[in-house]
Structures are given as C-alpha cells and as structure tokens.
C-alpha cells in the first residue's frame, strides 16, 4: 500500500506540473488531486521536493535498468534521455524553478552509477588505484550531465539517438585508454 500511495502522489505531482509551475503547486493541490489527506503526504515525504526527488530517483533508475556495462551504457544513457523527453513538461518545469538542484543532483547520481559500473568493468584486470578510478568516473559523469543539462536548457530539441551516436563516436575506447594511463606500474 505504501508504494502505491507514493506512486499516486507522484502521478498527481507530475500531472499538476504539466500545467502549473512547480513553485505554485502546494501540498493541498497534490493531496486534493490524489484524494488523500495531508497527513498521508507527510507520512511519505517531507515536502514537495522530497517527492520530486523520489520521482526522479525511482523512475530514472528504472529507465536505466541493467544497461550499465561497457557494452550497454549507450542504451542506458539513451534511456535517461528518453525518460526526460517523455516527461518533458515536468523536467522543464523543474529545470526552470528553484527545484533545478533536485533534478541536477539526481542526474549526477544516476549518471555516476552508470559510469562507475562501466569503469569498474573495464578496470577489472587493471592495477588502477581507487582514487584514479574515481577521477575517471567523475570526469565522465560531469561530461555526460553537462550534455544532459545543455540538452534540457535548449528545450530538448536535439535528437536523443543522435546525441548518443555523437557521444559514442567521441569517447569510444577513451575510458579504457584513460584507465591504462592511470595504471600503477
């Protein structure tokens, strides 16, 4: 029941964000749309931003699924783009509000886990320090999220698949080369 209630609250917020700026949505709006009381909302979430964070965390993770390997990262990243595009109004509403930090934080977290799995897989037989691997992960995390944020900033007009193709062409094999340069001799 608890998960169902969270999902209902999430759907209500997403629905409201299609027509109302995030800053103007109240908890009363959400609970009225969802047909629950305020206490139910506060049982699950501290505030609207906690609900928004939960939406991004659960839905983007679900969109990425298991596409976090060196062979499937492109599909995982494409799935993030597809999710963001499918939820365009909510994403743009969040991006253009004081809630932007929640969107950015979640994108950094989601992309971090995508990249860290790829780096760990590639480095499995390499002698690379944890600090160097973390540096490589963070480098790609910032590059990928920078692309996402620029895409969102320009109203998501560029083709998602073309972004992935361009990215793959540019960095194909680069993570491996970066890790080779970081190997302890």
Tell me the pLDDT tens digit for each residue of 38-56: 999 999 999 999 999 999 9
Average pLDDT on 156-160 reads 93
Residue 7 lies inside a defined structural domain of this protein = no
Q: Give the DSSP letter of residue 183.
A: B
Residue 147: what pLDDT?
95
Q: Is 34:109 a contact under the CB 8 Å cutoff?
A: no
Residue 23 lies inside a defined structural domain of this protein = no
Residue 16 lies inside a defined structural domain of this protein = no
Residue 64: what pLDDT?
81
Q: Is 184:131 a contact under the CB 8 Å cutoff?
A: no
What does pLDDT average to over the chain? 92
Please give the Cα distance from 3 to 95 (Å, whole number): 26
130: tokens are: 């944890």
Residue 139 lies inside a defined structural domain of this protein = yes
Main-chain dihedrals φ then ψ at residue 128, nearest 5 degrees: -120, 130
Domain hosting 142: range is: 49-182
pLDDT at 65 over 60: yes
Task: Give the domain CATH number at 77.
Answer: 1.10.357.10
Residue 185: what pLDDT?
67
Domain count, the chain: 1
Residue 100 lies inside a defined structural domain of this protein = yes
Residues above pLDDT 70, as percent of the chain: 99
Average pLDDT on 136-148 reads 96
Please give the Cα distance from 134 to 150 (Å, whole number): 24
Residue 150 lies inside a defined structural domain of this protein = yes
pLDDT at 91 over 70: yes
Helix axes 2-17, 48-64, angle to 10 degrees: 100
Helix axes 88-95, 130-153, angle to 10 degrees: 100
Please give the Cα distance from 37 to 8 (Å, whole number): 12
Residue 15 lies inside a defined structural domain of this protein = no
Residue 164 lies inside a defined structural domain of this protein = yes
């Amino acid at each position: 029941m608890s998960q169902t209630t969270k999902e209902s609250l999430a759907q209500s917020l997403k629905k409201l964000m299609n027509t109302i700026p995030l800053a103007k949505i109240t908890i009363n709006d959400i609970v009225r749309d969802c047909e629950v009381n305020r206490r139910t909302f506060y049982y699950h979430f501290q505030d609207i931003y906690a609900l928004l964070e939960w939406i991004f965390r659960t839905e983007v993770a679900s969109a990425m699924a298991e596409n976090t390997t060196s062979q499937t990262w492109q599909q995982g990243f494409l799935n993030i783009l597809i999710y963001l595009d499918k939820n365009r109004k909510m994403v743009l509403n969040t991006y253009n509000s004081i809630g932007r930090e929640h969107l950015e934080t979640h994108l950094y977290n989601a992309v971090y886990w995508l990249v860290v799995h790829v780096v760990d897989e590639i480095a499995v037989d390499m002698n690379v320090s944890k600090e160097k691997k973390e540096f490589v992960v963070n480098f790609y995390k910032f590059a990928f999220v920078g692309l996402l944020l620029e895409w969102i900033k320009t109203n998501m007009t560029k083709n998602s698949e073309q972004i992935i193709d361009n990215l793959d062409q540019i960095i194909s094999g680069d993570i491996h080369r970066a890790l080779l340069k970081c190997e302890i001799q």
